[in-house]
């Protein structure tokens, strides 16, 4: 498997997971599990061979997704670009490696406005990189992050350059939606708020197969097992928990293939029901090839 991209099919659709960047987060316990009881967190981390007292860094990939349908080319999230150090985005070169140039993208679906998901919207002059594409975002997301009162909050200082360089200047390229919407046949944007006010997921359906791009609904596999534990960057923690629990129930019932932006590459797996909750099952390349027959 190429360590930067992973190609697979959902029905007749060609899909490619693209590793835009890798970033290291300090103080990961507080960042990922801000409200977790220390004793329970310590036990959960040991399942992943992590000692809480010595856990100094969480290394996360940023995994965007390219979808080629019968008639359209869709990119989900534009990555970190070059304005959100220390990570440096490689999305454009990864797209070119699979034969796609920015001008060929028809839609850029932005699951939310955080800098690791939409800092690849524009170049250094704040001109659209995907100039022939419609950028799609939930209206609640746009309204929240373009609000002066939101950006004035000290915790949101890091978002100011993202909004001012990657979002606001591209208003004419944006389609702002409310609620769920099928963007092209087989690709549906679905509201999943909590992590941010207008956070979205994407359902890809073709030939009786489904893939759900869950974005930041779950930042770490432990969030599948402990959906009540919130990340410090969850804007509305109680709503984030409700969304996670609802999606867990739906995923167990429907058993789609799932993709999570921050999970170990290529971020694909399924969720299984256990006697006392839920468990993320990562799909290896061999597993995925078996699923494709």
Which band of pLDDT confidence, cut at 50, 70 and 90, is reported for residue 290?
very low
Please provide the average confidence, as pLDDT, over all residues in the chain: 94
Work out the average pLDDT over 197-223.
98
Cα radius of gyration (the chain): 18
Query: 20: Cβ–Cβ under 8 A, 6 or more apart, which residues?
Result: 62, 63, 64, 79, 80, 89, 90, 91, 94, 120
- What is the per-residue pLDDT for 3? 65
Residue 291 has pLDDT above 60, yes or no: no
Residue 64 has pLDDT above 70, yes or no: yes
Residue 106 has pLDDT above 50, yes or no: yes
- What is the per-residue pLDDT for 285? 46
Which band of pLDDT confidence, cut at 50, 70 and 90, is reported for residue 83?
low
pTM of the full structure: 0.94
What are 125-138's pLDDT values in tens digits?
A: 999 999 999 999 99
What are 145-179's pLDDT values in tens digits?
A: 999 999 999 999 999 999 999 999 999 999 999 99
For 3-29, b where at least 16 C-beta lie within 10 A, e where not — what string? Answer: ebbbebbbeebebbbbbbbbbeeeebb
- Percent of the chain, pLDDT > 70? 94
Residue 215 has pLDDT above 90, yes or no: yes
Nearest to 106 by CA among 64, 142, 62, 69: 69
Residue 258 has pLDDT above 50, yes or no: yes
212/246 Cα distance (integer angstroms): 14
Check whether domain 5-291 has CATH 3.30.70.1020, yes or no: no
Which band of pLDDT confidence, cut at 50, 70 and 90, is reported for residue 289?
very low
Work out the average pLDDT over 31-48.
97
CA 194 to chain centre: 14
- What is the per-residue pLDDT for 287? 54
Which band of pLDDT confidence, cut at 50, 70 and 90, is reported for residue 1?
very low
Domain boundaries, the chain: 5-291
Residue 197 corresponds to which tokens in the numbers above? 């006010």
């Amino acid at each position: 498997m190429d360590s930067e991209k992973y190609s697979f099919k959902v029905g007749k659709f060609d899909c490619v997971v693209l590793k835009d960047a890798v970033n290291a987060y300090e103080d990961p316990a507080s960042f990922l599990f801000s409200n977790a009881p220390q004793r329970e967190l310590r036990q959960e981390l040991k399942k992943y061979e992590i000692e809480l007292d010595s856990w100094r860094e969480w290394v996360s990939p940023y995994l965007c997704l390219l979808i080629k349908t019968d008639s359209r080319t869709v990119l989900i999230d534009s990555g970190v670009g070059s304005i959100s150090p220390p990570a440096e985005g490689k999305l454009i070169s990864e797209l070119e490696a699979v034969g796609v140039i920015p001008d060929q993208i028809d839609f850029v679906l932005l699951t939310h406005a955080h800098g690791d998901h939409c800092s690849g919207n524009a170049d250094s002059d704040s001109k659209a990189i995907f100039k022939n594409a419609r950028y799609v975002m939930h209206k609640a997301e746009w309204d929240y992050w373009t609000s002066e009162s939101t950006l004035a909050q000290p915790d949101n200082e890091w978002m100011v350059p993202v909004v001012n360089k990657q979002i606001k200047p591209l208003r004419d390229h944006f389609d702002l939606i409310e609620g769920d919407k099928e963007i092209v046949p087989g690709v549906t944007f679905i509201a999943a708020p909590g992590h941010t006010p207008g956070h979205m997921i994407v359902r890809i359906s073709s030939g009786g197969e489904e893939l759900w791009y869950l974005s930041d609904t779950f930042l770490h596999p432990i969030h599948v097992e402990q959906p009540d534990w919130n990340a410090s960057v969850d804007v509305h923690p109680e709503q984030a928990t409700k969304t996670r629990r609802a999606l867990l129930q739906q995923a167990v019932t429907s058993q789609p293939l799932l993709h999570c932006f921050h999970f170990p590459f290529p971020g694909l797996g399924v969720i299984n029901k256990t006697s006392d909750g839920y468990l993320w099952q990562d799909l290896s390349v061999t597993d995925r090839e078996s699923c494709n027959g």
